[in-house]
Each structure stands twice: as C-alpha cells, then as structure tokens.
C-alpha cells in the first residue's frame, strides 16, 4: 500500500507538469480530472486500515474533483468557445522549467519541516509542489478558465496537505470543504461566462477596462 501511495503521489506531480506544458484547454481539464482521480485514491491508500471515513472521503473526492468539476469546466469551454491558451505571460517551456524548480523547492522545504508521525515521506513535498505549481498556473496564464484550473490545482495542494491529518479531521468538515470548492468553481464558471459575453474573450487582463 505504501509503495502504491508513493507512485500515485509521483503521478500527481507528473499531472502538474503536464498541465503546465499544455496549451490546449481540454487537455488542461483532462489533466485536472486525472489529478482529481489520483487524489481520490490517496485517502484509501494512506489510511492504515480501510475505514468508512477514508472510503467515503475517497468517493466524495472522485465525484467532485474527477467528475463534476471537469465536466463543468468542459461545459464552460464549450459555451465560451475557447480552445487554447494562446500567449501565456510565461511561455510553456519556461513554465515547465519553473514547475521542475517548484518540485525541487518543495522537496527542500519539506525536508526542513518537522512533522511528527509522518507515514508518507512524499506527501508533504508533493503537496507543496502542487501548491506552488497551482500558483504558477494561476498567475502566468491569461485565460480566465486556465486560471480556474490553476486555482483548483492550488486547492488540490491544500487537500494533499490535509491528508496528513485525515485521522483527526471530522468527515463533515472535509465534505464541507469539497462543497465550498464546488460552489466556488460554479460561481467562477458563471463569472467567466459573463466575462466572455461582455468582452467576447476570456482574456482576464482585459478586465482592467471595466468602468461604469
């Protein structure tokens, strides 16, 4: 189980890097869905024994992160008719290198974080790496939808960090967090839809032209 969890965590990092390197919005969303599915597997793989708590958290995560959100984002790009991130502020090669740097930084920080009773040595570095890569996507892309993807990657990083404490966090709070994200992305989707209708584009830099 421990090795399986390690491989899943590595695949999470790879999905981060894949999202950084792609310009097609649909592949971005597919990468996000894959990441959500991997995150859903983790509670079961990490838990010392299979509990109802871990299993229901896994099912909830897969439903929200791997099915509902990607489906909603796919709907949004179809409605807004955008296909690609044309010119990000930081190019795809540079952002992939930034991603690799983020992974290095995350491992360096994690080795200095004293966390008691860690079962999974990879969990903290991977969560930090995912956090930073989420930030990179959020800040370096122009299209509002990719920024939503960046926000979700950021959130996935926080979720991973939360997994270190699964045993002590009540189930209801976790479900609440999942629901919050779902509602948040829903609202973002509607905002994105309105930006698109107002400006005929999803370029969030054009929001500076807003005035009454």
Partner 1 sequence: MTPEGLLALVLLGIAAPAVPGIAVKTKSLLTGRRGPPALQLYADLAKLVRKGRVYSRTTTLIFRAGPIVALVSLIVAALFLPLDGREAPARFAGDMVAFAGLLALGRFALVLAAMDTGSSFEGLGASREVTIATFAEPTMFLCFIALVLAAGDLTLSGILGTPLAAAWPHAGASLSLVGVSLFVLLLAENSRVPVDDPATHLELTMIHEVIVLDHSGPDLALILYGSALKLTLFGVLVVSVLVPRAGFSGPAAVALLFAGLGIVAVAVGVVESVMARVRLVRVPQLLVGAAALALVATILQLR
Cβ atoms of 128 and 106 within 8 Å: the answer is yes
78-97 footprint of partner 1 as x/- string (CB under 8 A): --------------xx--xx
Binding of residue 72 to partner 1 (CB under 8 A)? no
* Closest separation in Å from C-beta 155 to partner 1: 22
CB-based burial of residue 171 (10 Å sphere; 0-12 exposed, 13-18 middle, 19+ buried)? middle
In whole angstroms, give the CA distance from residue 47 to residue 40.
Answer: 12
Cβ atoms of 54 and 10 within 8 Å: the answer is no
The stretch near partner 1 (CB under 8 A) out of 3-11, 28-36, 50-58, 140-148 is 3-11
Binding of residue 14 to partner 1 (CB under 8 A)? yes
* Closest separation in Å from C-beta 68 to partner 1: 29
Q: Quote the radius of gyration of the chain (alpha carbons, Å).
A: 17
Tokens at 40, concatenated? 């859903």
Q: Is 24 helix (H, G, I), strand (E, B) or coil?
A: strand
What's 48's DSSP letter? S
Site for partner 1 in 129-158 (CB under 8 A): none
Site for partner 1 in 108-127 (CB under 8 A): 111, 121, 125
* Closest separation in Å from C-beta 59 to partner 1: 26
Kindly list the residues in this chain that would bind partner 1 in the complex (CB under 8 A): 3, 6-7, 10, 13-14, 17, 21, 92-93, 96-97, 99-100, 103-104, 107, 111, 121, 125
């Amino acid at each position: 189980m421990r090795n399986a969890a390690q491989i899943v965590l590595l695949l999470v990092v790879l999905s981060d890097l894949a999202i950084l390197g792609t310009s097609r919005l649909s592949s971005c969303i597919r990468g996000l869905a894959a990441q959500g599915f991997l995150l859903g597997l983790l509670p079961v793989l990490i838990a010392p024994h299979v509990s109802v708590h871990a299993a229901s958290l896994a099912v909830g995560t897969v439903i929200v992160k791997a099915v509902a959100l990607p489906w909603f984002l796919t709907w949004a790009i179809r409605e807004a008719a955008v296909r690609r991130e044309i010119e990000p502020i930081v190019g795809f090669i540079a952002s992939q290198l930034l991603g690799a740097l983020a992974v290095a930084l995350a491992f360096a920080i994690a080795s200095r974080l004293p966390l008691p009773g860690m079962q999974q040595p990879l969990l903290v570095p991977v969560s930090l790496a995912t956090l930073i890569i989420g930030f990179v996507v959020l800040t370096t892309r122009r299209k509002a939808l990719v920024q939503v993807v960046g926000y979700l990657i950021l959130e996935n990083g926080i979720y991973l960090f939360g997994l270190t404490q699964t045993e002590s966090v009540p189930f209801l709070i976790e479900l609440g967090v999942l629901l919050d994200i779902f509602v948040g992305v829903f609202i973002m989707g509607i905002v994105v839809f309105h930006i698109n209708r107002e400006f005929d584009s999803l370029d969030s830099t054009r929001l500076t032209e807003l005035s009454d």
